[in-house]
Structure formats: structure tokens, C-alpha cells
Structure 1
């Protein structure tokens, strides 16, 4: 298997930018082990995070130039300030493959290989349709047989009238192909005027979640931490950011996530110990290529900075760090259970699943809603989803 994985990669050979005041060991590249063609690089891996370039955009509808993004982003990423000496990073180079399916298969197997060894994967695209092989590679490793996916995008890449697979229809294709293996999905940062009713119904009918851009404005950006905490895979369309061409053309939109906030979101993804693979896709390089590449590099840097703060954080009554709250809600036969980490004020609630219940990330606001005899939206969504699934199984 090592020989196969070794064959999948072309080493990164690009140059590193110069930033005044940063040089030598003070730059991030000093923390990186670069693959240079040697097979023992994989067998002797001691790094905790690996960067994979996926220079593929043949299925892109409107951003073919994004296949040049991986090396351009690295040019700036490795020039940024180094992080703690305790963080070891690997750069496996760029995915090889003559055909489109070759690239998809190579990415899928590479993600599976690294995650199986408890190495977090950062994928630099390429177009966002690469999320499908990324997710399938993760599924091969998950003993539960399911994944939770968080997607950042200004639009819904859903085409309810076609089964074609592209950067503008990959999400509906992924949902249909993975089926029940996609345990949960949240799409955040969407702009309502760019999403159709049929696209929203497609998500709602499957009890998946959509968080609009307005839900993440200002201090509400903190809500993105809750969205990412349960995810194992994260996929970001770079064009969700302000001043990017979100309409599928060169027309620049004045709306979108602020650059500061997208870096904060990536930091949340880095902190979340459950996130095993993260991809940044569709970086727009036709205009403002250098500044966009630098921003994408800063996003990756914030992920790595967050990764340093990873620590096991999941409700455990015996640890003494968690306090549980039982809240009766009028009209419900059961009492809602909440749990709070008293050290960092993170919250969870017990929500229905296929068998029994599980702790899912929530916010203090969800607890407050329950205290007012209001059912939290996430609990109600998961309750309806699993109730329908059980009814279907009973009738089969």
C-alpha cells in the first residue's frame, strides 16, 4: 500500500515568498517535512497534519483556473510565521493522475491512508467536486460507517433536475450516493437570494441544516464553532468570502463572509478534534490572484494554529469538568439533557439517533430555549429525521 500511495504524489517544488521580518526558522516551512520522492517518507511519518494539493478542475463549471491554486497558496503559506515546535506538518505534494477518475481515486485512497494513521488531512483544491472522493476516503476508515459533513458556501451546489456531477451539482450527487452514510450535513454561509426553493426543499426533506450568512454575522460567528464541532469532514468554497465571484461568473459580489471571520472558522475546524479532513476549494485566481492566494494561506495557517489547541472535549461525568442539566419541556414525553464544559463553556445536548441518543454540539441558546419550553431546532430536526427512518424500516 505504501508503494501505491507513493505513486500517487508529485513533490511540491515551488518557491516560497519573502515576508519582511520572517526568515529561516521563523517561517512555517521550517516546521514542514516535504515529500521528495522517497517511499520511506510515508512509512516513517511522524507528522500530525499532512497537506495534499489537488490540482484538478476539469469538472469545474466556472473556475477552471483554480487548478493552479495549490502551489500558489503554498508559496505564501510556508512564508508565514512558524508555529509551536510541537506541531509537525507533512507536505505530500500534489495528487497525480492522467484522467479525472484517476485523480478522484488517488485522493480517496490518500485520505484513507493518512486518516487511518491518525494524521489530519488538509486538501488544497482544485474545485469543490473533490469533496466527494475526500469524503469517501474518510468513510473507508470510519468504524461507525457514517460521517458528518460541514460545507461552507455562498450557494447550494445542488441540481435537482440532473444527475450530472460537477462543481455546481456535487452536493446533491454526494447526498444521493452516500445516502444514510451521511449521518448529518450542515451548509453554512449561504446567501438566500442565491438559493432556490427546490434546492432548499432538497435539503429540508432529508433533515439537513442550512445556516445563512446572516446567522453568522458579527458575534454570531461563534455559532460556527458549534456547527464544526461534530463534523469529521469540512469543505470550504473560497468564493463564500466577500468580494468573490459567487454567481458562477466574473461578477464580484460585495456580500460574503469577512476575511477575518473565515480565518476564525478555519481555526474552529483546527480545534475540533473530530475533524479528520478539511478542504479549501475554488480559490479564484483570475483576478487578485496573489491576494486571494495569500488569504487562503492565512486560512490554512489559522487551521494549523487551532490544531495546536486540540484536546479531548466530550461529555464525561467522571472527569469533573462537565455539568449536566435536565430540562423538562412541555409537550415532550422525555426530559432534555444538556451538558456544559465548565472550563470553556461549550455545550452539548442529547439528541435522538438511530438507536438511543447521543451527545451533539449545541449552544447555550439551545439550553435557554428549552428552559422557556421551546424545543431547540437541532433537537427537533434530528428527532424528525430518525423518527422517519424508524418508520420506514418498520414498514419494510
Structure 2
């Protein structure tokens, strides 16, 4: 994978002494095991997760742009302890700031495109939420049809705004040719969303999940996230008390719920880009948001560690199979013996991700809503 060293042309190396306040790291801390781009570009051949910073925030209308945000997150993450001995984490530094916003987009999706093509999983430390558009363009340039999940208190379809941060989803979901097979929005807060936005997304057979619904049954989001390739998380989805940089709303997910969603993203065998956006260190209080994001990153690693050994569905010995009929439809449900995750069979014999709750609904001779939505989309 020597060709990936050419990516260094788009990147700025890290200063580990600055990140550790010249104190270095103790044995067992992540800072001692992460393969960081400091003087030499790291070998990425065996990397399970690659960190990539991009502090671009001109999509919000702010003229200032630097990489203080990714480095502030790293400062907290590198101090955490390393529990996952088989996981190799690399950090390739920060995307160089372009002369224009589009130049930074181009640099970001160029780097992501190469890493995706090489079969790597990348976590982007942002930067404003519109960087999700560059995240998507990496797949579009590879002509890969994907499923995408966004976690945000708002739905960024505000066509009356001149800022990409407010309306990037319009370009992402409607541009031609389009490579979005399915889109799910997780954690929206009703009073922050124009009802017509939800109607539009529903007509497109996309799924939206209100924050209250997710908080009641966070395990129901795992099947939503499992088949995605692109995962994008705006810290505006986290309540202000847990993420002080969120000045949009006092409500949202608590810290543990945010970590659960990130662990679900790490657990997915298909997700290969995860973006964490909306962090501004100038708006933080005692680095609490940076610490929250660092903990979320730790759970991405935890999820990937747990999911690495999941068996393929063809391995019948690795799953419990449950055959039943609901509403005159015969179906098989599978439960993994290793991770406890569930799948259900459609009439065309395809298996889709589902939950234990879907199995219980079907057991009562009712049709799971997830099954219906899948049938509608075909």
C-alpha cells in the first residue's frame, strides 16, 4: 500500500509533544500505540481505523479556518487507555486548508477516496457538518452506491440559507448521478425541523427518527446503522449539558447515548467513513465536548473490535435460526451467537438487519414496520 504515502501531499503532520503538553504518554494510553504521522507517513497496511482531521468551517459562513478542533479532540483521545489489543489505529494528520472551501472539500474527498478504495475505515474529526458532502463525494467519485446515516438535531435541507452547513443534504440527496441507495436521519428534534422536510424525505422512502424515539429504544438504531457505508454525526445532536459547544438546543442525546450510537457504527461491517462534526474549541467549556467526542471515538474502536469476528450469514453454525409466519408470510430470523444481532428474511430471500423487537412483533403475527419499509423500497 505504498501508493497511500502520496496522500501526505494533502496532509499536515502532527506534533505529539504539543498534543501531550510536552509530557508524553504513560504506558497503556492510546498515545503510545497510535501510529501517528509525525515525521514519517505511517504504514497503513494493517490499520483497522485511520484518524483524519479536517478543521474546515467556512461552510458555516465563518472566515476563520484552522485545525484546532481535530487537535483538541486528539489531545483528549490520546490520553484514554488502550483496551483493544488486536486493533491497529493510525492517525494521518490534518487535511491542509485550501484557498477556498471547495479546495478543502476536494482535498478531503481525494484522501478519503484513496483510503476507501484501499479497504480502510476512516474517522474524520471536523470541522463543520457540511464536510459530510465531501465525505459523500468520495463514494460518488468511485461510483459506489451506498446507504448513509446522519445524526443531527436538525435536518440540513434549509434551501433559503446561503451556507452549505445548513443545506448540504440537498446536494447530497438530489444531485445527478446520485449514489445514495438509502438515507436515514437519526435524532432530529421536531421543533427545529420544518414539517415539509419530513414529508419530502418520506416520499423518497428515506427514514427519519425523532430523538425521543431513539432515546426510548437506542438498540433499534443498530439495524438502521448496520448497512450504511457513510456515518455522519453532528455534535448538535448531543444535549448542551454533555456537549457545551452545542448552542442550538439544550436537549438531545446524553453522553452515554451518543457513545452507544458510535459503538453501533463501529460494529457495522460496512461503514468505512465516520465523520464527527460541529466541534469548535473556542465554544467549549473545560474541554468537556472534546472529552465527550474522545469517549465516542473510544466506542467506535470498541464496536469495531467486537464486530471483527462476526461470522458470514452463510455460516449456519454461527446463528440461531427462527422460522415463523406472520400475516401469511413465511420468514426466517437469524440471531448471531457472537454479537446477538438479528437479521430477517424478505420474500426474495434477502436478509436485512433487524432487531429483537422486530422478531417479537412478527412472533405476534404482526408485520414489523422495518419489513414494510424494506418492501416499499424494493
| TM-score normalised per structure 2 | 0.88
Q: How does 1:9-28 map to 2 (within 5 A)?
A: 9-13=11-15, 15-17=18-20, 23-28=25-30
Q: 1:251 to 1:345 in 2, by over 3 A?
A: closer
* 1:268 alignment partner, one of 244, 264, 270: 264
Q: How does 1:64-143 map to 2 (within 5 A)?
A: 68-96=68-96, 97-141=98-142
2:207 is aligned to 209
SS in 2 for 1:76: helix
Deviation at 1:63, TM superposition (A): 11
1:230-289 deviations in Å (ceiling 9; x for gaps): 11111000111011799xx98563311001111122122112221111010001432426
Q: Distance in 1 between matches of 2:84 and 2:315?
A: 31
Contact map agreement 1:6 1:37 (CA 8 A) in 2: no
1:157 is aligned to 156
1:40-65 deviations in Å (ceiling 9; x for gaps): x35x6432211100110111158978
Contact map agreement 2:238 2:246 (CA 8 A) in 1: no
1:339-377 deviations in Å (ceiling 9; x for gaps): 22244432112347xxx5532111122122223332222
Aligned length: 371
Deviation at 1:90, TM superposition (A): 1.2
Contact map agreement 1:315 1:339 (CA 8 A) in 2: no
Contact map agreement 1:327 1:337 (CA 8 A) in 2: yes
1:360 is aligned to 352
SS in 2 for 1:84: coil
1:93-120 deviations in Å (ceiling 9; x for gaps): 1111222112111111211211222221
SS in 1 for 2:60: coil
Deviation at 1:310, TM superposition (A): 2.3
- Which consecutive residues of structure 1, in runs of 5 or more, have no partner in the other structure? 387-396
| TM-score normalised per structure 1 | 0.84
SS in 1 for 2:334: strand
Q: Distance in 1 between matches of 2:259 and 2:314?
A: 33
1:160-196 deviations in Å (ceiling 9; x for gaps): x459661111112210026652111111111112111
SS in 1 for 2:169: helix
Give yes or no for the alignment of 1:33 onto 2:35: yes
1:190 is aligned to 188
Q: 1:305 to 1:339 in 2, by over 3 A?
A: closer
Q: 1:74 to 1:251 in 2, by over 3 A?
A: closer
Q: How does 1:300-315 map to 2 (within 5 A)?
A: 300-313=297-310
Contact map agreement 1:17 1:76 (CA 8 A) in 2: no
Give yes or no for the alignment of 1:292 onto 2:295: no
Contact map agreement 1:238 1:284 (CA 8 A) in 2: no
1:131-181 deviations in Å (ceiling 9; x for gaps): 111122134457xx311111111111113x459661111112210026652
Please say which of residues 108-117 and 57-66 is displaced more in the overlay: 57-66
Please say which of residues 363-372 and 313-322 is displaced more in the overlay: 313-322
SS in 2 for 1:257: coil
Q: 1:314 to 1:132 in 2, by over 3 A?
A: farther
Contact map agreement 1:154 1:191 (CA 8 A) in 2: yes
- Which consecutive residues of structure 2, in runs of 5 or more, have no partner in the other structure? none
Q: How does 1:217-228 map to 2 (within 5 A)?
A: 217-218=215-216, 220-228=217-225
Give yes or no for the alignment of 1:6 onto 2:5: no
